[in-house]
Amino acid sequence: MRKLQSNQSEIATATPVWHELLFGCFRLLKSPKRRTIEDYLQTVIWPSVPILPYDVTAAGWHAEERARLVSKGKTPAFVDGQIASIAKTNDLCLVTANIKDFSVFEGLRLENWFRR
């Protein structure tokens, strides 16, 4: 929480992450819990956290990096490549608890703010 608060004005997310948040919410049965999560996403996250697109530049970097990794026998999840490419092409540090899966991408700056 300390890292989130101290970097609040510099935090953004990626369109594939937004998709994953919504997908997870929409998979829940209609319930008060789902309504609370959906409301939070739409009224707090959507208006206050910039959501960066997977654009032509990101797609180009992703394609090149994916080809490099496949030639080495590595096949990271496609969505991880999308997220990595958005961070890389926007010259951002990717904050994740999943350092292992993202460390295969060349030149990507990573931080884990979730260690206990």
Q: Say what the pTM is.
A: 0.87
For residue 82, the one-letter residue type is Q
DSSP assignment letter at 55: -
pLDDT at 115: 72
What is the CATH code of the structural domain delimited by 56-111? 3.40.50.1010
For 24-57, what is each residue's pLDDT tens digit?
A: 999 999 999 999 999 999 999 999 999 999 999 9
**What confidence tens digit (pLDDT) does each residue in 2-17 have?**
766 666 667 899 999 9
Q: What is the pLDDT of residue 1?
A: 60
Count CA atoms within 13 Å of residue 27 on its CB side: 6
What is the spatial distance between Cα 103 and Cα 84, in angstroms, rounded to a whole number? 10
**What is the per-residue pLDDT across 64-90, written as a single tens digit (0 to 9) for each?**
999 999 999 999 999 999 999 999 999
